[in-house]
Amino acid sequence: MSLYTMLMALVFLLILSGFFSLSETSMMAINRYRLRYLAKQGHRGARLTIKLLNHTDRLLGVILLGNNLLNTASATLVAVIVAMLFGHNDLALFLGSVAVTFAILIFSEITPKVIAAAYPERIALTASYVLTPLLTICYPVVWFVNLFVRGLLILFRLNPEKNQLEQKISIEELKTLVLEGGYFIQHKHQSMLLNLFDLETITVDDVMVPRSRVEAIDISDNDETIQTQLLTCHHTRLPVYRERMDNITGIIHVRKILNQMQNGKITAEMIEKVLHKPYFIPSGTRLFSQLQLFQENQMRIGLVVDEYGEWLGLVTLEDIMEEIIGEFTTQAPTQMSTFLKQGDGSIIVEGSTLLRDLNRKLNFQFPLDGPKTLNGLIVEHFQDIPEAGVSLSIANYPMEIIQTKNRVVKTVKIYPVFTNAKVDDSES
């Protein structure tokens, strides 16, 4: 065999070895979710790749078998070339070994693997057409080698196949995938997906309307008072109680009652006939679970109760939907604005405002692992009901108590010294 032929054979061996390195890295680096999508679309290369990856031991067996055979053949061929040119010169053999090691590293290992890591999908799908028949041809050898591999795994009590089946993607990993897919996912859709994941960590206590702010009807009032309240209310469903707010008798759909006005005045007896049984929700229920319960029970409104049966507030289907897609309802005109921007840049906030709303709308960073409202956070800070005019700082946000009433903090002024809060003029 001439020297030229052996040099060409060496180049060919290095190229083939590079192909196996390309295949190995691209197969391991390919996006499995993208691969499944392509397979569902009918891509034959994707289907072949999935079949190969389903038996990783066989895939790696045929790749490493070919790679090592080719590298060994390359080293042997270089030794023959050196012997032909320089005889049995030890220095020449050493330099030849160094040269072939350098060539394998550059042309058969590092460069192919860098390319495969950059373009795994394109290379893996193409390589699957070659590796599939090659695995069929070399299967007896691969099977024999894998016998020893499995024996070692059993000896060390390892089960890679079981570990692969048990691997599941976590919520945090899903969030990372959504965030990193920002170029392909619209910002609004991205925000909705992230909010949907948060439903597993948010409870009904975080979004409920506190009982003190719930619009309700006292069925023990006279008919004129009840009718006036129905005509001026700002919600379509209202809780109905008798004498005390604790004594809830049901939920009323205002539209059904107003339709009865054609037959005369609205009376308490008329309301009692169309009352719906109240739907109670245990405090601490996860929003995602409650969304499913609303769907299963065909309900749209529920009353949150604590462990003693005392109702704490009200949650509607719309409240949960707003946590996913953002606010889409308008504030009742008779209610005081939750946020009121002042000329000096400070913001006056109601004490009953939910901390989640402050963080979301004003870009604050109040802690959410304790009290749910600004009033609760301030009371927890002092371990007492503060007087008006008292100043404090929580989470580096300086604030001043403007008004306290009935053992609660009614209004608070938050100064923007350490904040980047932005308030819409439409909310002021």
Taking only the tens place, the pLDDT of each residue in 217-236 is 998 888 888 888 888 888 88
Strand order in the sheet with 237-242: 217-218, 237-242, 244-253
Question: 3-state DSSP call for residue 314?
Answer: strand
CA–CA distance, 373 with 206 (Å, rounded to integer): 9
- In the block, tokens 């308490």 appear at 268
CA–CA distance, 212 with 210 (Å, rounded to integer): 5
Q: What's domain 339-427's architecture?
A: 2-Layer Sandwich (3.30)
> What backbone phi and psi angles, to 5 degrees, belong to 351?
-65, -25
Could you tell me where in the chain the CATH 3.30.465.10 domains are found? 339-427
Nearby residues of 74 by Cβ (< 8 Å), 6 or more positions away: 10, 13, 14, 17, 100, 103, 104, 108
pLDDT of residue 213: 82
CA–CA distance, 146 with 139 (Å, rounded to integer): 10
* Tokens encoding 132: 């599939």
Nearest to residue 62, comparing CAs of 10, 137, 119?
A: 137
- In the block, tokens 């999908």 appear at 121
Nearby residues of 280 by Cβ (< 8 Å), 6 or more positions away: 302, 303, 304, 305, 311
Region at 298 (left for phi over 0; alpha for psi -120 to 50; beta for the rest): left
H-type helices in 279-415, by residue range? Answer: 287-297, 317-325, 355-362, 374-382
Q: What's the CATH class of domain 204-325?
A: alpha beta
Could you tell me where in the chain the CATH 3.10.580.10 domains are found? 204-325
Question: 3-state DSSP call for residue 222?
Answer: coil
* Tokens encoding 296: 């299963």
CA–CA distance, 128 with 48 (Å, rounded to integer): 6
Integer CA distances (angstroms), 151 to 54, 145, 161, 266, 325, in order: 20, 10, 14, 84, 54
Question: 3-state DSSP call for residue 159?
Answer: coil
Segments of the chain scoring below 50 in pLDDT: 165-166, 332-337, 418-428
CA–CA distance, 31 with 43 (Å, rounded to integer): 15
pLDDT, the chain, mean: 84
Integer CA distances (angstroms), 248 to 204, 216, 276, 294, in order: 19, 10, 11, 20
- 209-210/217-218 β-pairing: unpaired
Nearby residues of 250 by Cβ (< 8 Å), 6 or more positions away: 239, 240, 275, 276, 277, 278
Q: What is the number of other CB atoms lying within 10 angstroms of the CB of residue 24? A: 22
- In the block, tokens 């004003």 appear at 362
